[in-house]
A = this chain, B = another copy of it.
Amino acid sequence: MSLTHVPDLDSLELLIRVAATGSLGQAAVEHGISQPAVSARVQSMERLVGFPLVSRSARGSTLTAEGALLADWAREVLHAADVLGAGIASLRHDRLTRLRVAASLTVAEYLLPRWLVRLAASHPDTAVRLSAMNSAEVAVAVLNGDVDLGFVEGPRVPAGLDSQVVGRDQLVVVVPPAHPWARLRRPLDPATLAHTRLVQREPLSGTRTALELALRSHAPLAAPLLELSSTSAVRGAVAAGAGPAVLSDLAVRDDVAAGRVVAVPVRDLDLSRSLRAVWPRGQRPTGSARDLLTITRTTELRGSVGRSRAQDGKMAP
């Protein structure tokens, strides 16, 4: 493979323009540069390939026999380059209009929908593909480039990612209206909570691990009363009187308001979690990912909103 002695794409195109117009000056105009620039470029091409390409005269310029031959080969190169250019344009377009998002369950279920509605309103031709998965899987998907933007919950930002806090979630203890805790006059004791059998999600769910983390000083926790595979199932079980559960505030807000379940305050226990948008370290979101990020910032949030290091550092706004 010897790419030495091969002029660059721009010069090849220029040569073909010279062939087509029969004039260096004309070619210069079409190419948007000055006539001396074309003259110099053609000369440097001739120096590069080692033989004259253009036959100049006072009445214009024509390609030499060798120049014409070279131009034929150059047309092939430029054609391939056009295909490449079209491919690049298409990828860029995709990136602008197609948005792949991975989100942890809580975010996917309770926050993303309204953001996506706003995104659809402001950017109607954006095609969104949303995948719900747990936070660790989200991090992997983002790092792999499988998605353009991820949303995770939890106190820590997964390694290799930059992030921005887009909300704060509060775990709340909910009980059936008939449950004794529904009538407590003082906040619940954390130890009591730890030693009570609860309706739970599966072991590795974000909600459950967050609870276990918050109660780690009271370990071991009581075994689950029930173990269900979705948040709604847990909500339903509590409402049906199965027993207490710890769920995201976002998930039970409606149930609490409707009186189907009762929220029980707990003292001395931080059950809040950051919800973060994440993207590969150093690669600021662009296109519709950026649009979505903007929407998460401008949508009214419950709880405090902070900014991660990625936003505090030297990166441009």
A residues contacting B by CB (< 8 A) are 1-6, 8-10, 12-13, 49-52, 55, 57, 64-66, 69-70, 73-74, 76-85, 87-89, 91-92, 95, 144-145, 160, 280, 283, 286
Contact = CB atoms under 8 A, between A and B. Distances in A.
A79 B6 CA distance: 12
Copies in the complex: 2
A83 B89 contact: no
Contacts of A69: 87, 91
Given A50-B286, A73-B84, A76-B84, 8 more contacts: A2-B89, A5-B85, A50-B95, A52-B145, A69-B91, A70-B87, A73-B83, A76-B83
A92 B70 CA distance: 11
A69 B286 CA distance: 20
A267 B45 CA distance: 54
Nearest to A65: B145
A84 B9 contact: no
Nearest to A83: B73
A84 B91 CA distance: 28
8 contacts: A5-B85, A5-B89, A8-B9, A51-B91, A65-B145, A66-B91, A70-B87, A77-B84
